[in-house]
Structure 1
Amino acid sequence: MDLDALADLPLTYPEVGATAAGQLPPGYSHLSVVTQIGTGDQRFEEAADAVMSWGMQRGAGLRVQASSEVAVVSAVVLVGIAFLRAPCRVVYVVDEPDVRGFGYGTLPGHPVSGEERFAVRRDPTTSAVFAEVSSFSRPVTLAIKATGPFGAVAQRLIAKRYLRAV
């Protein structure tokens, strides 16, 4: 797949930005995983840089081909594992003093429809740093639908790998 060809494709779901709001829409499978990855300003900045440069995906063992070295709104990214290729577009970026990250949504050709948020958060009171992944999705392809509950288990395993990557 050519990244330029993906740039003008429509997202495959109507609830764009729902992972930023924290209220995941009904009718989808929901996922939310969080873990503390350290403490302090330096740890937060290192993790934020990794998240914003596709470090969660690469660190989880996924292939990443992106239209931008860092996550910016409208950047297109093609994520791959084994034979699966998953085209996405960044739909928002969070750049706040204690939270950094982005959300991307699925494009035609992705095996599921939905959105995923990748972020790091620093607790201003304790300086604890957390990595977070949240998503809503539903299968689109027959192959993914056929995996049944195994698809959800695989998604949770990948999400945990994202967290360990930063």
Structure 2
Amino acid sequence: MNAAAPLDDLNYPEVGASTDVDAPLPAGYNHLRHRALLGHGRAALDAAGTAVLGWRMHRAAGVRITADADRATRGVAVQCAVGLGPLRAGAPCRVVWSTPDGDPDRYGFTYGTRRGHFALGEETFLVELAADGSVWFTVNAFSRPRRWYARLAGPLLPLAQHLFARHCARTLTHLATRATRATH
């Protein structure tokens, strides 16, 4: 998808507000910022970044993903299925931002909720190489419940989102560690 890909099916107005992980998130939403050390070096960065952009992190973390493309780029429609068995909820999203090609030290994307999603908001997943060679994973998100059952869940939804961010970090740490071992 190109930079002009339509984003007109999103169900919230603050599109792109989570892409700058250092900027304030919009008011009126639950906020999530989670940062975790994944490992060290280029092999760890590339393994984790490829896993994020290629949906592998989500799948390894137990999310069923169906996407228009094999790689998260702006405009790609994504259907996430979260939950267990018959309690699995569909969560339609669209990628609103991804790291530009040619940025060798950052991999990531942001997806936002589309019409039909049980919530409103967006989530950014970013893997970065620091100057000291450490590799960091950041989840930056804002959301609020939209459907009655999501509102009924109350504080459980933000808690589940925070637990998922931690789970993604553990998943990426495992993937990055395996890649680092394979190069030595």
What is the TM-score with the length of structure 2 in the denominator? 0.82
Is the CA contact 2:19–2:140 (under 8 Å) kept in the aligned structure 1?
no
Q: Distance in 1 between matches of 2:144 and 2:82?
A: 18
- Percent identity between the two aligned chains: 38
Identify the residue that residue 55 of structure 2 maps to in structure 1.
54
Identify the residue that residue 138 of structure 1 maps to in structure 2.
144
1:25-44 correspondence runs (5 A): 25-44=26-45
Aligned CA distance change for structure 1 residues 8 and 15 (closer, same or farther; 3 Å) = closer
Identify the residue that residue 179 of structure 2 maps to in structure 1.
none
**Does residue 13 of structure 1 match 2:19?**
no
Identify the residue that residue 78 of structure 2 maps to in structure 1.
77
Is the CA contact 1:16–1:105 (under 8 Å) kept in the aligned structure 2?
yes
**Does residue 119 of structure 1 match 2:126?**
yes
Within the candidate set 88, 100, 108, 1:101 is matched to: 108
Is the CA contact 2:67–2:76 (under 8 Å) kept in the aligned structure 1?
yes
Structure 1 position 149, deviation (Å): 1.0
**Counterpart secondary structure, 1:161:** helix
**Counterpart secondary structure, 2:19:** helix
Structure 1 position 9, deviation (Å): 5.5
Which amino acid counterpart does residue 89 of structure 1 have in structure 2? R
Per-residue CA shift, 1:91-132, capped at 9, x if unaligned? 0111323221000000011111001001101102x1000111
Is the CA contact 2:7–2:75 (under 8 Å) kept in the aligned structure 1?
no
Per-residue CA shift, 1:34-88, capped at 9, x if unaligned? 1101000111111111110012211210100000001011000000023211000
Moved over 6 A (4+): none
Q: Distance in 2 between matches of 1:143 and 1:159?
A: 22
The count of aligned residue pairs is: 159
Within the candidate set 168, 177, 183, 1:162 is matched to: 168
Structure label with greater radius of gyration: 2
Q: Distance in 2 between matches of 1:127 and 1:26?
A: 35
Q: Distance in 2 between matches of 1:87 and 1:161?
A: 21
What is the TM-score with the length of structure 1 in the denominator? 0.91
Which amino acid counterpart does residue 134 of structure 1 have in structure 2? N
Is the CA contact 2:65–2:79 (under 8 Å) kept in the aligned structure 1?
yes
**Counterpart secondary structure, 1:20:** coil
